[in-house]
Amino acid sequence: MGYSKYISKLWKKPKENIGTEKWKAWLMQLRREPAILRIENPTRPDRAHALGYKAKEGFVVVRSRVTKGGSKKPGFGHGRKPKRYGRFITRRKSDQLIAEEHVAKSYPNCEILNSYWVGEDGHYKWYEVILADRVQVSKYPGYEWLATPANKGRVFRGKTSAGQKSRGLRHRGAKATRQFRPSKRSRGTK
């Protein structure tokens, strides 16, 4: 196995593979850091490279912290049939998508490529978000599409992988034949 396969194997069960004490120390270090922090190198290089990161000028990795839980807010009190009231409204965004949006607001000149999980404890979840500078990265082959105006602010329109998942557009394997969205136009069929 190559170097990256060993790393990805470690991150399947990090607490067991890395060691409980080291994992606790890592989470304690993360808790002391600010909510959004730019880092030099990705913590999980195998995952970062698989999602489009390159160790070149124009690519940035930022670690983002999101609070767990508290996603429910009280439902509507009036103006509905009693059976339609419901006690709570749950948000439709994942924690990963929220982390990406927070980073995109802090780095307006960059575009979000993707993100991946780094750790979580009882209170927080941490994700590392891969950003690309539109102007610098458009010079590299395969990244020209980032410079087009159609891809500006893609994270806020649900165009990243986490955004597509929350919109019900990502499905694989045997489920790929099943219809996930109601309209025929959205699936590309007539």
* 34 within a domain of the structure (yes/no): yes
Q: How many domains does the chain have?
A: 1
pLDDT, position 110: 92
* 177 within a domain of the structure (yes/no): no
pLDDT, position 116: 96
Q: Residue 76 is part of which domain span?
A: 3-168
Q: Is 7 exposed, middle or buried (0-12, 13-18, 19+ CB in 10 A)?
A: middle
Q: What residues does 72 pair with on adjacent strands? A: 90
* 188 within a domain of the structure (yes/no): no
* 83 within a domain of the structure (yes/no): yes
CATH of the domain at 50: 3.40.1120.10
* 183 within a domain of the structure (yes/no): no
pLDDT, position 104: 95
Sequence-ordered strand ranges (E) for 68-166: 72-74, 88-90, 110-120, 124-133
* 119 within a domain of the structure (yes/no): yes
Phi, psi of 40 (to 5 degrees): -70, -50
* 184 within a domain of the structure (yes/no): no
* 139 within a domain of the structure (yes/no): yes
Q: Longest C-alpha distance within the chain, in Å?
A: 61
Whether 127 contacts 66, CB under 8 Å: yes
pTM summary value: 0.83
Pairwise CA distance, residues 8 & 32, whole Å: 26
Mean of the per-residue pLDDT values for the chain?
86
pLDDT digits (tens, 9 = 90+) for 68-124: 887 777 777 778 887 777 777 777 889 999 999 999 999 999 999 999 999 999 999
